[in-house]
Amino acid sequence: MDNNLLAECSAAVKQVIDRFGIDILSEHKRFCAALSDFAPKLSKENKAFFVALSENIGIIFIREHNSVMSGSHDPDKIIQRAATDISEYLNDEKAQLVSKSIAVALGWITLEAPSENKNENSDIPSYSSSSSLIEDLFKRAQNGDNDACFNLGECFFYGRGVKQDYSKAVKWYIQSSDRGDCSSQKKLADCYYLGQGTERNVAKAAFRYEQAAEQGDYDSQKALIRCYLKGGNGLFPDPARAEFYSKRYNITISSGTPNDIMKNAQDGDLKSQFRLGNMYLHGTGIEHSPEKAIQWFKKAAEKDYPPALYNLAYCYQHGIGVPVDRITAAVYYKKAADNGDLDALNNLAGCCMRGEGTVRDQNIAAKYYKKAAESGHAKAQYNYGECCFKGMGIAKNLSEAVHWYKSSAEQGDPDGQYSYGWCLRDGIGTAQDPITAKEMFELAAAQRHAPAQKALGYCYVNGTGTAKNFAVAAEQFAKAAVSGDKEAAELLAACYKYGGEYLAVNDAKAHYYADQYDIDYDKI
């Protein structure tokens, strides 16, 4: 593993944890957004963190942190376990990079001194003999692997394992850009715009920015608009073209910098006030200040701007930037819902269902859930399905519950997919369909829905909708166990203790998981 890259990742992870606390490791989207702000050049590594933390390995580090720091648990075993859990999705090197970066950031382990060995006379990066996966990077890039081309370009751009050489970086970025790699297109455009490794040419930069912009890259969309606004080497300013892209990507032309957003917000632009509030809330491009976020949300909320009303409600409900005040939260949810915000209507229904900040009234809650569900809100469809299934606020109606679970599932909601699958498996409110049930569990499990992962494991144990396969069942039980499901942990240990189709008995692993999850082995 490249020690320089490991050190760089570890430092960035430490910044994120120091700013937001260790619990951010359990929120993969928020963590990666922050990591992108602190270390934008680690874009490829950020993707690995997104995948890894999506698989809940962050929870492992949170749960074991005090034990490691007190000396009662071995950090190396936990690091290896985390890396093993994500090796299904990442290669061994990236899995180790993510796990070790977090461990270093938390102070569990210290880094070895970075290697000084660099080969200055070759295109091929020089690595230690233990990094066989990275040594293969150059060969894969020569054979047309886009990820390898981009990574090799990054090595030359930042001088990781090789002498820094912008021109060689550009060469590799071009190869993967021409084959449609978005990250390479964006990076190549930056090189053309700044004149790094090549002659500065804004026209070429705009061409590559547009390629990445059309693939949905927001930064490239903004940069493309900037190119046509300001012009430069090889490109005359073209305000009409800038306006075209502004409308195409729904980006306000003057919204490119925090100063622009601040000015627009001060001038009363509701969208800018809301955006500025979000920047303060997350510390994106500006200081982290939930208190200032509240101030800007309130300015937009005074004009009944629905997203600002919703954010205010959420902040008051959870005590972000203000003391917890569920009554005020319910008031703002109601205002946002009255202005057409379906997320707010769904949350308002939840407040009524629980009596949180308002009178507990399941009838009104069911009415709100139904209204949002009929407007196409996936989570509200699931929630209204729950009302129908349990008879909360309305008469119990299992077939109606299945209808709404299915609607939610079809929109990709994991709770809806799991519940619809559960009904199909057991024939509740609908005809039994074990094959479709298993497919629903798979869809929800792919979104790291722990109950669905466990249910999918049962499908493979019992042969429900599929052939029996205890090896696959164990994989699913393991994923659910990492999320804290005690029953799944017991089932995982049992799979290895007794074996089954495609899984040999492995008493050592059974004992390992029993110890790991504090299970009485003799009672399995």
Give the three-class secondary structure for 426. Answer: helix
Which pair of tokens denotes residue 421? 């699958």
Tokens for 490?
């017991």
Token pair belonging to 356: 């949180």
User: How large is the average pLDDT for residues 139-149?
Assistant: 80
Q: What is the pLDDT of residue 110?
A: 79
What SS3 class is residue 235? strand
* pLDDT given for residue 88 in this prediction: 67
CATH number listed for the domain at residues 255-335: 1.25.40.10
What's residue 135's pLDDT? 53
- In this predicted structure, what is the pLDDT of residue 115? 43
pLDDT in tens, 489-512: 999 999 999 999 999 999 999 999
Give 469's DSSP letter: -
Around 150, how many Cα atoms within 13 Å sit in the side-chain half-sphere?
20
Q: What is the pLDDT of residue 112?
A: 57
Mean pLDDT, rounded, of the chain = 88
- In this prediction, residues 309-320 reach a mean pLDDT of 96
Please determine, for residue 316, whether its predicted confidence score (pLDDT) is greater than 80. yes
Following DSSP, what letter does each residue of 6-24 receive, concatenated? HHHHHHHHHHHHHHH-GGG
pLDDT at residue 118 in the model: 40
77 — pLDDT class (breaks 50, 70, 90): confident
Q: Compute CA 418 distance to the chain's CA centroid, rounded to the nearest angstrom.
A: 20
Could you say which DSSP state residue 321 is in?
S
Structure tokens at 416: 């809806």
Whether 360 has a pLDDT exceeding 70, the answer reads: yes
Say how far apart CA 127 and CA 254 lie, in whole Å. 45
- Mean pLDDT for 126-141 is 50
38-47, 82-91, 260-269, 420-429: lowest mean pLDDT where? Answer: 82-91
Is residue 113 scored above 50 in pLDDT?
no
Asked whether 103 and 17 are in contact (CB, 8 A), the reply is no
* Percent of the chain scoring above 70 in pLDDT: 93
The two three-digit tokens of residue 432, written as one number: 């039994």
- Per-residue pLDDT tens digits for 161-194: 566 788 988 998 999 999 999 989 999 999 999 8
Whether 117 has a pLDDT exceeding 70, the answer reads: no
Of 5-14, 198-207, 330-339, the range with the lowest mean pLDDT is 5-14
- Cα–Cα distance measured from residue 190 to residue 443, given in angstroms and rounded to the nearest whole number: 38
Decide if pLDDT at 330 tops 70: yes
Q: Which of the four pLDDT bands, split at 50, 70 and 90, describes residue 254?
A: low
pLDDT band at 217 (very low <50, low <70, confident <90, very high): confident
Tell me which amino acid residue 394 is. Answer: I
129 pLDDT tier (thresholds 50, 70, 90): very low
Q: What is the CATH number of domain 132-249?
A: 1.25.40.10
For residue 114, the model assigns a pLDDT of 44
286-317: b (≥16 Cβ within 10 Å) or e: bebebebbbebbebbbeeebbbbbbbbbbbbb
Q: For residue 124, what pLDDT is reported?
A: 43
Position with higher pLDDT, 93 vs 518:
518
d(CA 154, CA 173): 9
Q: For the chain, what's the residue count?
A: 524
pLDDT at 486 exceeding the cut of 90? yes
Query: Which of these, 250, 251, 248, lies nearest to 261 by C-alpha position?
Result: 251
d(CA 117, CA 101): 22
- By mean pLDDT, which of 151-155, 183-187, 485-489 is the weakest? 151-155
In the chain, which residues fall in CATH 1.25.40.10?
Answer: 132-249, 255-335
CA distance 69 to 501: 41
The 3-state DSSP class for residue 187 equals helix
134 vs 266, more confident: 266
Percent of the chain with pLDDT over 90: 56
Highest-pLDDT range among 141-155, 181-195, 263-277, 413-427: 413-427
**What pLDDT was estimated at residue 13?**
92
Q: What is the pLDDT of residues 445-461, one digit of tens each?
A: 988 899 999 999 999 99
Q: Looking at residue 133, what is its pLDDT?
A: 39
- Tokens 């937009």, located at residue: 300
